[in-house]
Structure 1
Amino acid sequence: MLDIISNIIFYLMIAVLALGFPAIIYLSKKNKDGQNSMIEKKKNDKQGKNAQEFAEIKDIKDGIIIMEDNRYSMILEVSGFINFMLLSGSEQEKMEASFRSLMGSINFPVQFYSQTRLLDLSKEIEGMRARLNQLNEKMKEYAGELIGYLNKLQSTKTILVRNNYIVLSCIASSYEEALRELTRRKEIIEMEVNKWLNCNMLNTPQVMEVLQIFMNKEKALSNKIEDALNLGHYDYVVRSVGINEIIGKA
């Protein structure tokens, strides 16, 4: 009797192994395929969208941001500073009246945006270096020390400056229609703001710079929009440097 039971158990174990081993192989393969698909999905997620697709920007034309769904935007930079408390009583009243007039004239959406960016003194430093040969020896020594100080000040990357902007947006069926409407709104804003501050529309490179700093402030100094434009990154035709020019410069 025990021999019969032992034989039954033995054959059952063989049957389980025979049926279970292919199942284990199938589940293992399925799990591996699932892991591979998850890895592939993660790779695709890492690639993601580029900045233009993420911001839903189709193009920037003459300073006008063209977005999806027939949306258009214009950015005005407001510069200057007024200490209201240092104004006389009559000047304060005039400024308040101007502000009330501006608020009464606006019947369209307006966004106020302040952007902080790292201090950039590269243009000032380049200008000083370009004029070094025009200075006497003592002034050259002083200018050299000043350039070194400015370079050190800029390299710390701890000093921030703030720029203020007004963003105007509209929905239009065409670029021409949007340009007319945004220009009308810009003139209303400028008419009152320019009485006390400076308000100017940003051009295309300036708009690109604002967007670049918004998305990647830390690398804005090393990867400048202005440098990319000077190198011809956005030109339709790029001219290479000939060997004769290289020899001539050498």
Structure 2
Amino acid sequence: MKDILFLLIMGAVLWIVYAVVSKRSIIPFVKSKDNTQKGNGLSTPSAKMGSGKKKQEQVYEEQEPDLFEDLIEDVVDVKNHLVHLQNNRFLLIAEVSPCNYFLRSQSEQEAIDTAFESWLATLNYQVQWYIQSRYIDLSEPIEEMRTNMMEANDIPFNALEYGKSMLNDLVHWQKSSPRYESKRYLVFPYEVNVSTIEDSNKEELAERIEEKAWTELYRRCNNARSSLRKANMDVELLTTEGILDVLYHLFNRKKALKTKFKNIRDREMLSLYSTADQPQSRVEYVKELISQNETA
């Protein structure tokens, strides 16, 4: 008997809690006031406002912005070692190799600081720093070590087994967790003043504008190269493919680890025209004909 009373009391307590949470009447089989108003077709002003909002939400559909388009909306073309922007603006990008500053002695660090400060003091134009983080890719060194190890004939068996286990550890280390490396770039922007160029033909005017931009930006890059060389930092001008490689890693950070940019280039996927599969000998023959026509 006590167990039955205990179960009835617990059931009543659970029902009261459920009724309060779900906003129902505590007495079973009796509708609450809110439910009766809904059943009679009565609605409060807040309910009307809510229905109006729902209708507005159903009618209005917001379009998400295209991130890729927003980032490169000013880019016209990438060619001749330059990024062509709108309104006769150009970008030249150079990669800077680090100098291991904190591994240097005190005198070497002071020499690096002096050379870097001297270069900054000579700048009377805009220079931008761009640091890009990439996933560490050890596939090429691993393949090179594996090829050298398998082609060598004088390696003992134990050394060969050790080399295989080391390569497997490197592959596992690369795949276990993402690791990054930093690429450092100098970006030189320049805008050509068209009023200083006198030419009537549009084609020649475009060539003159590009030539003037290249001359000025190349001079700035050489100035940075000669000044930063004293600070043990090498500045290397990026080619057109190098600029495309930077942009490819910018928009395909994870994909670039598997689908590498050099593979896209080797498979001729950067060409303007799509062609059928051809043997490598024919591809080399066509490239040779193109080079001969360009030199002629």
Task: Provide the identity percentage.
Answer: 25
Within the alignment, does 1:240 sit opposite 2:260 as a pair?
no
SS of the counterpart of 1:117? strand
Aligned to 1:125: 142
> For this pair of structures, how many residues does the alignment match?
205
Q: 97, 102, 114: which one pairs with 1:97? A: 114
Cα 1:236–1:130 shift into 2, 3 Å: farther
Query: CA offsets, 1:95-148, max 9 Å, x none?
Result: 333223201221110111212111111111121232232233333322221221
Q: 2 CA distance for matches of 1:227 and 1:106? A: 39
Q: 128, 148, 151: which one pairs with 1:134? A: 151
* TM, length-normalised to structure 2: 0.61
Q: 149, 170, 173: which one pairs with 1:150? A: 170
Q: 62, 65, 75: which one pairs with 2:80? A: 62
Q: How far 1:85 moved relative to its partner? A: 7.4
Aligned to 1:179: 214
Question: Would you say the 8 A contact 2:101–2:109 is kept in 1?
Answer: no
SS of the counterpart of 2:100? coil
Q: 76, 88, 93: which one pairs with 1:75? A: 93
Cα 1:77–1:149 shift into 2, 3 Å: same
Query: CA offsets, 1:38-72, max 9 Å, x none?
Result: 56xx6xx46x6583674122221133111222221
SS of the counterpart of 1:106? coil
Q: 182, 200, 212: which one pairs with 2:236? A: 200
Aligned to 1:116: 133
* TM, length-normalised to structure 1: 0.71
Within the alignment, does 1:209 sit opposite 2:245 as a pair?
yes
Query: Once superposed, which parts of structure 1, at least 4 consecutive aligned residues long, lie more than 6 Å away?
Result: none
Q: How far 1:205 moved relative to its partner? A: 2.3
Cα RMSD between the aligned structures? 2.8
Structure 2 gaps, min length 5:
1-54, 195-208, 283-296
Cα 1:164–1:153 shift into 2, 3 Å: same
Q: How far 1:215 moved relative to its partner? A: 2.5
Question: Would you say the 8 A contact 1:73–1:170 is kept in 2?
Answer: yes
Task: Name the amino acid aligned to 1:147.
Answer: L
Structure 1 gaps, min length 5:
1-30, 246-250
Query: CA offsets, 1:12-52, max 9 Å, x none?
Result: xxxxxxxxxxxxxxxxxxx8xx95x756xx6xx46x65836
Task: Name the amino acid aligned to 1:213.
Answer: H
